[in-house]
Amino acid sequence: MNQIQFALKVFAALAVVLAATTLCGRLAMAVKQPRVVGEMVAGVLLGPALLGAVAPGVQAQVFPADVKDTLYVLSTIGLTFYMFLVGSSLDHGLAAGRNMRRASALAVSGILPTFALGAGAAALFFGSLSPDGATRWEFMLFVGGALSITAFPMLARILQERGIANTPIGGLTLVAAAIDDAAAWVILAVIIAVAAAGSPFDAAGTVAGAAVFALLMLTVGRSLFAKLGARVEREGRMSRDVMALVLLVVLVAGWFTDYIGVFSVFGGFVTGLAMPQSSIVRRELETRLTDLNSILLLPVFFAFSGLNTQVSGFGAGGGLWWPLAVIMAVAFAGKYLGCAAVVRAQGFSWRYASAVGGLMNARGLMILIFINIGLAHGLVTPELFAILVAVAIVTTAAAMPIYRASLPESLERGATDLAPPPVAARKT
């Protein structure tokens, strides 16, 4: 196959992906679901679940092995820049003082119960769902870490759209979700390092390399980026050369973290955290990167995930329904009950506690990134991958119905000035 023919195949695959994810995204919004839910479903439908079952010849023609390899590269680039935007959008001011302490408590309540229940479920199904060569504790760490994730970017978008991102309950939830995701990436980095090296001792170099990278980026890198941010503030815009430098740093950071055995998304995320807290810098980055990334490259990732989602075990007589039910139950209960209990203990009503529990339970794109990295490193079987894709879709789709049922618009409008009553007032 010459280069022109290969290019034509890639263009055709991209066109199919873009059309499917756009259509399903619009349908999801029509039923009051986040667009990302529809895009995740579109990715699954392009795989063995629908296209591969109804028209296997067409699927093989549109997504041959070499085209899938190209889609993987494009999706990895998209994910790296996506995580860069996630890191750069974090408001460092939210993580301060009392709010940070309360958010940390909420984050722990979202991680520990879910991690413990997920690890327990992994131990239960270790014999049937673990990949060859995986140890029990690696498998338990992976499943527990995957289920501990919260869809921070989607959560931030929902809270901004509802106008409550800067309220006490909104800020609390955002910071907690960011902490949950950071903890999950650390867990994944350690698992990958150990799996690649063969033992915790051999993985020390990888973990140390990631730690040094993060330290340098968040100190020296942040200082250098601050100078760029000051220049952008003076000029009121980000010049082409400055934008090229930022993109170069993200690509190098992604290459380095991938090279040392973590993953490129870690480099992108940490680089985003080092960006200056400037409204002009954020506006320029979002304006120039968001559309291409969210409209084309991320849908490519959804399609790549869908092509890897084997659904044969869910047919009549399939053996995946029981592990799916157990893992889905522990994923939902760990996040929802743990987070709701802590929010209630902090003085909010049960309605607000339920709303936060529902939102924190959404895993969205973040768990798909997590499990795709695991699949690339041989940490997850196709059967478990399919189960976790289902968990991603169901928990994300359930987030807004739970939120709306818990917090009707009449109550949500009062959230602008919401704060829990003082301890003394609660005792009287």
Return the CATH architecture of domain 3-416. Answer: Up-down Bundle (1.20)
Q: Phi/psi at 260 (nearest 5 deg)?
A: -80, -5
Report the percent of the chain where pLDDT is more than 90.
Answer: 28
Q: How does residue 427 score in pLDDT terms, banded at 50, 70 and 90?
A: very low
Taking alpha carbons only, the member of 160, 154, 260, 165 closest to residue 207 is: 260
- Residue-wise pLDDT tens digits, 320-339: 889 999 999 999 999 999 99
Kindly report the three-state secondary structure assignment for every residue of 220-274.
HHHHHHHHHHHHHHHHCCCCHHHHHHHHHHHHHHHHHHHHCCCCHHHHHHHHHHC
Averaged pLDDT score across all residues of the chain: 83
- Confidence check: pLDDT of 194 > 80: no
Distances (CA, A) of 391 to 61, 153, 329, 333, 359: 29, 18, 9, 12, 14
Q: State the Cα torsion 232-158-269-91 to the nearest 10°.
A: 50
> Of 53-62, 87-96, 240-249, which range is least confident?
87-96
To which residue do tokens 């895009």 refer? Answer: 39
The whole-angstrom separation of Cα 40 and Cα 22 is 11
Taking alpha carbons only, the member of 368, 344, 416 closest to residue 109 is: 344
The whole-angstrom separation of Cα 111 and Cα 338 is 9
Domain boundaries of the chain, sorted by first residue:
3-416
Give Cα 146 distance to the centre of its chain. Answer: 10
The whole-angstrom separation of Cα 271 and Cα 217 is 7
Taking alpha carbons only, the member of 417, 411, 423 closest to residue 168 is: 417
Q: Is 223 exposed, middle or buried (0-12, 13-18, 19+ CB in 10 A)?
A: exposed
The whole-angstrom separation of Cα 36 and Cα 38 is 5
The whole-angstrom separation of Cα 427 and Cα 408 is 28
What local confidence, expressed as pLDDT, does residue 421 receive? 42
DSSP state string for 385-403: HHHHHHHHHHHHHHHHHHH
Give Cα 342 distance to the centre of its chain. Answer: 23
Q: How large is the average pLDDT for residues 378-400?
A: 89
Q: Phi/psi at 317 (nearest 5 deg)?
A: 80, 5
Contact between 180 and 148 under an 8 Å Cβ cutoff? The reply is yes
> Of 122-126, 171-175, 377-381, which range is least confident?
171-175
The whole-angstrom separation of Cα 151 and Cα 33 is 14
- Between 222 and 421, name the one with better pLDDT: 222
